[in-house]
Amino acid sequence: MAGHESHYILPRAEFDKPVKLLIVVAPYYKDIADNLVAGAKAEIEAAGGSYELVEVPGALEIPTAISISDRASNFDGYVALGCVIRGETTHYDTVCNDSSRALQLLGLQGLCIGNGILTVENRTQAEVRANPDDQNKGGGAAAAALHLIALTRKWGAQTKGVGFKVLTDDSNRLA
């Protein structure tokens, strides 16, 4: 059983400047979402960070909320939390795949996102994974976001000359 395997966990990320995260949660299964949020909050606080929390209707709306926030706010990173339990239709596959893919695409654009959207077969699996005293997937998602923020700060303003650069008045002149 996967829940009893031993896994390596990276040491907690450390910061010399404050870090602020947005926790975006879909509380469709409220008790499970509350446990995920509790784990995420505890991990962020343990790293000396702060957070804000917003709720969205479902897992599919989580990436959109993160994208809106990225354009309109100043968060260092994001924690995506929710739960999708398999039902009788293929809707489960759509929600799991599309929410995960959208978060991955945002991450590839440079956003620091910890994905804590549970995709499970039944409620018991969700309860075990969400429980902060058991698998604590909410805390794990927050830790992932914090590690990505630490990498972003480590590599900071490095550029490799890829893409377009805005021309200044001096660089507009022809030689």
Encode pLDDT of 60-94 as tens digits: 999 999 999 999 999 999 999 999 999 999 999 99
Residue whose entry in the numeric block shows the structure tokens 């654009």: 109
State how many domains the chain has.
1
Q: Is the pLDDT score of 98 beyond 60?
A: yes
Q: What are the distances in angstroms from CA 153 to CA 17, 58, 75, 107?
A: 10, 31, 13, 15
The verdict on residue 94 lying in a domain is yes
The verdict on residue 132 lying in a domain is yes
The verdict on residue 133 lying in a domain is yes
Q: Is the pLDDT score of 133 beyond 80?
A: yes
Instruction: Tell me whether residue 158 is exposed, middle or buried, using C-beta atoms within 10 angstroms of its C-beta: 0 to 12, 13 to 18, 19 or more.
Output: exposed
Give residues with Cβ within 8 angstroms of 44, minimum separation 6.
19, 21, 23, 50, 51, 79, 142, 146
Structure confidence by residue, pLDDT tens digits, 11-37: 999 999 999 999 999 999 999 999 999
Q: What is the pLDDT of residue 166?
A: 58
pLDDT > 70 in the chain, percent:
87
CATH of the domain at 105: 3.40.50.960
The verdict on residue 5 lying in a domain is no
Residue-range definition of the domain harbouring residue 88: 18-172
The verdict on residue 12 lying in a domain is no
Q: Check: CB of residue 76 under 8 Å from CB of residue 149.
A: yes
Question: Higher-confidence residue: 137 or 6?
Answer: 137
User: Mean pLDDT for the chain?
Assistant: 91
81 DSSP β-pair partners: 25, 116
User: What sign does the CA torsion over 158, 164, 169, 175 have?
Assistant: positive
Residues annotated as part of the active site = 91
Q: Is the pLDDT score of 150 beyond 70?
A: yes
The verdict on residue 104 lying in a domain is yes
Q: Is the pLDDT score of 163 beyond 60?
A: no
Please measure the distance between the N-terminal and C-terminal CA atoms of the chain and give it in whole angstroms: 69
Closest CA to 76 of 35, 31, 19, 143: 19
pLDDT > 90 in the chain, percent:
84
Mean predicted confidence (pLDDT) in 1-7: 67
